């Protein structure tokens, strides 16, 4: 795959009238990626975001997949919280088991998540990237976008050259994610995230965003000059990107 870091390009953007339509188009992309990988003789490898944005997409894939029809798929997490107990349901491993692995009928042994219980998180992050490479890389990486423009937990200012690593979460990210916890204090302070360099190695990126709260971040990611201040703007350097938005998330885009 060639990638010219000096020549950003406008990503392909589809704007649809509803969140349901966004999920439906994304579903077709994901199932197309699975077919493509199989056609090339590989087990499909999907990179999976957590959070609200891909949830409807995951349900539609589950509805569309015949029983056992996705059992060859590898599911790779984009990130994982650090500091939660091993059985905490807020862990992204737990969320991916609930939202993807079980409903899609995947083999739980094919779910790859950074090991956040290791003593040495630098080492376990490197091991995660090595395992990802050994799988042959991600076919399609599904991404949400944070209100601050983050992808994964790569917060504004993150270097684009870094791989998977431990990061501190910004206050705005912890505030946004506190919706899923009892309080802001319960939201972890740190995570292990695929780095931007890791994300860029996926063959395709599929960024999904809905709702007005994402409009500014989407405009900065898709149409403004790429800058580490908006981590998602790095997608302009990837040759195979599809951004699927509802009208509200697209409100900041110029024609």
Q: Which residues bind ligand PGA (CB under 6 A)?
A: 51-53, 144-146, 150
Nearest Cα to Cα of residue 168 among 232, 121, 226:
121
Catalytic-role residue among 155, 177, 238, 246:
155
Nearest Cα to Cα of residue 154 among 143, 218, 48:
143
Residue nearest to ligand PGA (CB): 51
Compute the least distance from the CB of residue 150 to ligand PGA, in Å. Answer: 6
154 a catalytic residue: no
Residue closer to ligand PGA (CB basis): 106 or 151: 151
Residue closer to ligand PGA (CB basis): 144 or 163: 144
148 a catalytic residue: yes
Residue closer to ligand PGA (CB basis): 37 or 78: 78
Catalytic-role residue among 29, 80, 139, 150:
150
Compute the least distance from the CB of residue 6 to ligand PGA, in Å. Answer: 27
Provide the token pair at 228.
Answer: 């580490």
CA distances from 112 to 9, 67, 141, 143, 215 (A): 31, 22, 13, 16, 31
185 a catalytic residue: no
Residue closer to ligand PGA (CB basis): 193 or 236: 193
Whole-number Å distance between alpha carbons of 51 and 180: 9
Q: Work out the burial of residue 26: count CB atoms within 10 Å of its CB; fewer than 13 is exposed, 13-18 middle, 19 or more buried.
A: buried
150 a catalytic residue: yes
Residue 155: other Cβ atoms inside 10 A? 21
Known catalytic residues are 79, 148, 150, 155
């Amino acid at each position: 795959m060639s990638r010219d870091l000096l020549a950003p390009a406008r990503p392909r953007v589809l704007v649809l009238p509803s969140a349901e339509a966004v999920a439906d188009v994304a579903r077709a992309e994901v199932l197309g990626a699975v077919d493509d990988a199989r056609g090339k003789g590989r087990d499909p490898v999907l990179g999976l975001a957590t959070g609200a944005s891909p949830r409807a997409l995951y349900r539609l894939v589950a509805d569309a997949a015949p029983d056992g029809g996705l059992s060859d798929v590898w599911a790779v997490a984009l990130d994982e919280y650090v500091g939660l107990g091993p059985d905490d349901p807020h862990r992204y491993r737990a969320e991916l088991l609930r939202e993807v692995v079980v409903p899609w009928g995947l083999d739980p042994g094919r779910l790859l998540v950074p090991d956040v219980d290791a003593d040495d998180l630098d080492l376990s992050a490197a091991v995660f990237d090595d395992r990802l490479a050994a799988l042959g890389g991600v076919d399609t990486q599904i991404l949400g976008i944070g209100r601050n423009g983050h992808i994964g937990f790569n917060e504004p200012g993150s270097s684009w050259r870094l791989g998977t690593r431990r990061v501190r979460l910004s206050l705005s990210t912890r505030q946004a994610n506190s919706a899923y916890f009892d309080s802001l204090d319960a939201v972890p302070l740190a995570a292990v995230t695929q780095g931007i360099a890791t994300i860029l190695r996926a063959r395709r990126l599929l960024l999904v965003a809905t709702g007005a709260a994402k409009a500014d971040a989407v405009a900065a990611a898709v149409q403004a000059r790429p800058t580490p201040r908006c981590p998602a703007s790095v997608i302009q350097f990837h040759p195979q990107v599809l951004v699927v938005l509802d009208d509200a998330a697209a409100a900041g885009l110029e024609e």
